Amino acid sequence: MSVVSGTVEDIDDAAREHGTPGGADMHTWTAGPFLGFDTETTGVDPHTDRIVTAALVTRDARGTRQRTWLIDPGVEIPAPASAIHGVTTDRARAEGAAPREALEEIAAALVRAFEDGVPVVAYNACFDLTLLEHELARWALPTLADRLGRAPSPVLDPLVIDRALDHDRVGTRKLGDLCGHYRVEVLESLHTAEVDVLATLQLLECLLGAFPELPARSLAELHEWQRGCHRDWATAFNARRAEEGLPGVDLEWLPSAEPAAVRTLPV
């Protein structure tokens, strides 16, 4: 069962159909572990842009542990992107890891979590996970879907959750906006990957408290519910964009299990 904008909808059949793993028991998964994930990039197109920094943050009964990467993306970092995350082309080239090495480490850690049923928490997961899949394919590495034999899951995305359960709230829904709305204290500036992940994990905790229907559901149910919520939102968003003559967004929330199309991208 799952909640859609205040109404209850049975999605057990959908969860079984798509083969999403159950992960932890529905009554205990909120205690963790969680694996937070975020990237900072060369731009805003997940199909063509590159990862500049990434962070993985594990939160469990032992506390919080993080690992970060600075990557030489192999291309110039545009000045507007550097202005956001603070990494210039010169710094990335001087200090950054080789992309294949770093991407393999990131992918391996994410796959371990998915295989163990540990939810990966990402704000606007559609962007970060799609970007990562294209980066892996670009550097001739197996994608997450290749390694798993299925689409990545379970994933928890505070943006999708908030947009679905509080859809009438006006205003933008950037990470900083939601942190302000749910009173998440951010001690450092956002737009560094590790700070964004920590804020996202705290935001998820606030959402679980604000909407008690969430922890009452299994991870598999929540994953499939988010997938449907994203598709509904993207369909409406794309219709508005089309009226303005603008391109839309992917209808699928996360990369599919058949990402062959990304393999033609140049290095």
At 204, the pLDDT band (50, 70, 90 cuts) reads: very high
Q: What is the pLDDT of residue 27?
A: 54
User: From the CB of residue 214, how many other CB atoms can be counted at a distance below 10 Å?
Assistant: 20
Nearest to 11 by CA among 222, 233, 251: 222
Q: What is the 3-state secondary structure (H, E, C) of the chain?
A: CEEECCEEECCHHHHHHHCCCCCCCCCCHHHCCEEEEEEEECCCCCCCCCEEEEEEEEEECCEEEEEEEEECCCCCCCHHHHHHHCCCHHHHHHHCECHHHHHHHHHHHHHHHHHCCCCEECCCHHHHHHHHHHHHHHCCCCCHHHHHCCCCCCEECHHHHHHHHCCCCCCCCCHHHHHHHCCCCCCCCCCCHHHHHHHHHHHHHHHHHHCCCCCCCCHHHHHHHHHHHHHHHHHHHHHHHHHCCCCCCCCCCCCCCCCHHHHHCCC
Per-residue pLDDT tens over the stretch 209-259: 999 999 999 999 999 999 999 999 999 999 999 999 999 998 999 987 654
Give percent of the chain above pLDDT 90: 80
Q: What is the pLDDT of residue 258?
A: 59
Q: What is the pLDDT of residue 185?
A: 84
User: From the CB of residue 177, how many other CB atoms can be counted at a distance below 10 Å?
Assistant: 13
Predicted TM-score (pTM) of the model is 0.86
Q: What is the pLDDT of residue 257?
A: 62
pLDDT(22) > 50: no
Average pLDDT estimate for 1-17: 39
At 151, the pLDDT band (50, 70, 90 cuts) reads: very high
Average pLDDT estimate for 129-154: 96
Query: Using CA atoms, how far apart are residues 257 and 151, in angstroms rounded to an integer?
Result: 5
Query: Using CA atoms, how far apart are residues 50 and 84, in angstroms rounded to an integer?
Result: 15
Mean pLDDT of the chain: 87
Query: Using CA atoms, how far apart are residues 54 and 92, in angstroms rounded to an integer?
Result: 13
Per-residue pLDDT tens over the stretch 178-201: 999 999 987 667 768 889 999 999
Nearest to 40 by CA among 123, 148, 159, 163: 123
Q: What is the pLDDT of residue 231?
A: 96
Is the domain defined by 2-264 classed in CATH 3.40.50.2000?
no
Query: Using CA atoms, how far apart are residues 137 and 103, in angstroms rounded to an integer?
Result: 10
Per-residue pLDDT tens over the stretch 161-183: 999 999 999 999 999 999 999 99
Per-residue pLDDT tens over the stretch 55-86: 999 999 999 999 999 999 999 999 999 999 99
pLDDT(32) > 90: yes
At 17, the pLDDT band (50, 70, 90 cuts) reads: very low
